[in-house]
Amino acid sequence: MLHPDIKIIGEDILKNKATSVVDVTPEIYHLIEKMYKVMHEANGIGLAANQIGSDLSIFVTKMRGHNEVFINPTIIEKDNEVLFTEGCLSIPGVRDQTKRFNRVVLTFQTPEDMTYVIREEFEEMCAFVVQHEVDHLNGKLYLDNFNSFRKSVAIKKCNKVLKLLNRR
């Protein structure tokens, strides 16, 4: 489902590196709640802040059956590269194989205690989701890993879907 609040491929904010969060303010809590709402309404399992127009380094997921928020995430370890068929709420109508790591270690903070940095290992689907969302926060879409021909085919497919939905 294409959600009206989700930024789509070609919009500048999706190309920019996110800004670190220093303090969790009421505005950031409001942003996180909006991110959960948009993610659920769009039937997603993850959403980065820049996908709804914020430049903050935050992503939310529902990859383990409940809402989770990750602030200032950084992948510090990764191994076991595999092929994975991926999609993205910002690239509607396109699913394609990309290379991802089957295991990653992430450091991040949570809104409950910004003084503490958590280090957690993720495997398989959870690892793929984490990599996808961290890429967003680094200004990168999974299509950016494709060669120019493959990327142009994917973008044309996406543009057809967007045209049908009157978004372009």
Q: Tell me, yes or no, if 133 is annotated catalytic.
A: yes
Which structural domain range is residue 36 located in? 12-79+99-140
Q: Which pTM does this prediction carry?
A: 0.94
Asked, for residue 93, whether it belongs to a domain, the answer is no
The total domain count for the chain is: 1
pLDDT at position 1, please? 57
Residue 162 included in any domain: no
Instruction: Report which of 135, 139, 9, 132 is spatially closest to residue 61, judged by C-alpha positions.
Output: 132
Beta strands in the chain (DSSP E): 46-48, 58-61, 68-87, 95-110, 113-123
Strand partners, 87: 95
At 167 the pLDDT is 62
Q: Who's near 154: CB < 8 A, 6+ residues apart? A: 91, 94, 96, 143, 146
The CATH number assigned to the domain holding 59 equals 3.90.45.10
In a domain, 59, yes or no: yes
DSSP for 56-86, written as a single string:
BSEEEE-TTSS-EEEEEEEEEEEEEEEEEEE
pLDDT for residue 114: 93
123 occurs within a structural domain = yes
Chunk the chain into consecutive blocks of 10 residues (it has 168) and report each block's average pLDDT, rounded to whole numbers: 88 97 97 98 97 98 96 98 95 94 98 95 98 98 93 92 77
In a domain, 3, yes or no: no
Among 11, 27, 120, 133, the active-site one is 133
Q: Looking up tokens 């800004």, which residue turns up?
A: 19
Evaluate whether 110 touches 69 at the Cβ level (below 8 Å): yes
| Residue 19 DSSP one-character state | B
Residue 152 within a domain? no
Q: Is 167 within a domain?
A: no
| In a domain? residue 119 | yes
